[in-house]
Amino acid sequence: MSRSGRIAIVLGMFAVVVFLVVFAAMSFVATEPQTVKYLTAPSGKPVHLVFQTDGAVGTGAHPTWVSYQTMTPRSHHWVHTTLVQLPAHTMIHVTLYQFDSGSPLRNQQWGRVTGTVGNSATTDGSPFKVINSYKRTVGHTFTIPELGVNVPLLGVDTSKPHFCTAGPCSPSTQLHHTITFSFKTPGPGIYHFQCFIPCGAGHYTGNGGPMQTLGYMGGFLEVMA
């Protein structure tokens, strides 16, 4: 083969490799969940952030995985994502519809409410500061470690009717607990939040799958200036 032919083959193979690398990188980036922006409130006014936690997300690549879902602020649609933008130095009123069943906490330390206004939250309208997870099971937690925010989310009783088996679940028709609490965002930054219950059933010690995948049981609160 001529020298120019060999060079052409090498360059061609190099181009193929570059294409595959770029394709893989773009595919990875493109799989990142959507970001829900809660930045529309007038400056200084509280923001109302709404989540739900489902035992099975019911959509996407892993419909049976447990997951958070986020409501869009204007259209009030449920989006399978855990990427949320919030304004800085703003009171965030969180409503969280908890549709999943529960278990005792692996570490009861996460049974305390911390970092919220008054270090308390409400479940179905009743204020609480701690849950004894050995008596009342906890489905998940909403925890922002860097801000010291932790709220245990009471598990639902699966023996009752209208248990939601696939999300997004309906707060108006399906069995759930409504948890509310408030916290104030700090200055701009990216703060990760996660569930502190190893709820990835079927994975090693419950910590695989949805616990290790962005968009399911952990995400980012991007606090914007």
Partner 1 sequence: MSDATSSGQFGAGASDPPATTRTTEVHHFRRMIPIWLVASIAADLIWWFVAGPHVPPGGMSDVAKGAQFDFNVLFLAAAPVTLGVWIYMGYAIWWWRASRPGLPDPVGGPAARGHLKFQVWWIALTTVIVLGAFVFGTVELILPAGAGGGEGPNPVWTPTSKNVLPVQVIAQQWKFTYRYPTFGGMETDTLVLPNNTEVAFHVTSLDVIHSFWAYQIGVKADGNPLVDNVAYAKTRQTGTFTVRCSELCGIWHGAMFDYGKVLSKSSFEKWALTTERKQADNTKYLPPFAWTYSPTANGPTGVTGTNTSGQAGFSKMEHYGATPAKKIVRSQAVGTVTTGTA
Q: What track of x and - describes contact with partner 1 for positions 173 through 202 (by CB under 8 A)?
A: -------------------x-x-xxxxxx-
Our CB check for partner 1 shows the closer of 71 and 84 to be 84
At 206, is the secondary structure helix, strand, or coil?
Answer: helix
Residues in the chain: 225
User: Which residue from 63, 148, 186, 188 is in contact with partner 1, where contact means CB under 8 A?
Assistant: 148
Q: Is 111 in the site for partner 1 (CB under 8 A)?
A: yes
Q: Is 130 in the site for partner 1 (CB under 8 A)?
A: yes
CA pair distance 177, 174, nearest whole angstrom: 10
Give the binding range for partner 1 (CB under 8 A) out of 27-35, 57-65, 67-75, 97-105: 97-105
The CA-atom distances, in angstroms, between 23 and each of 15, 34, 61, 148, 154 are 12, 20, 19, 39, 43
CA pair distance 182, 172, nearest whole angstrom: 22
Site size toward partner 1 (CB under 8 A) is 36
Q: Is 73 in the site for partner 1 (CB under 8 A)?
A: no
Cβ(83)–Cβ(175) below 8 Å: no
User: Which residue from 31, 34, 40, 109 is in contact with partner 1, where contact means CB under 8 A?
Assistant: 109
Name the minimum Å distance from CB 108 to partner 1. 5
Cβ(190)–Cβ(147) below 8 Å: no
Token representation of residue 3: 């020298």
Residue 21's identity, in one-letter code, is V
User: Which residue from 31, 40, 132, 165 is in contact with partner 1, where contact means CB under 8 A?
Assistant: 132
DSSP state, residue 159: T
The enclosing H or E element of 11 equals: helix 3-30
User: Which residue from 85, 108, 120, 182 is in contact with partner 1, where contact means CB under 8 A?
Assistant: 108
User: Which residue from 53, 69, 98, 133 is in contact with partner 1, where contact means CB under 8 A?
Assistant: 133
Q: Contact positions toward partner 1, by CB under 8 A?
A: 103-109, 111-112, 114, 129-130, 132-134, 143, 145-146, 148, 192, 194, 196-201, 204-207, 211-214, 218
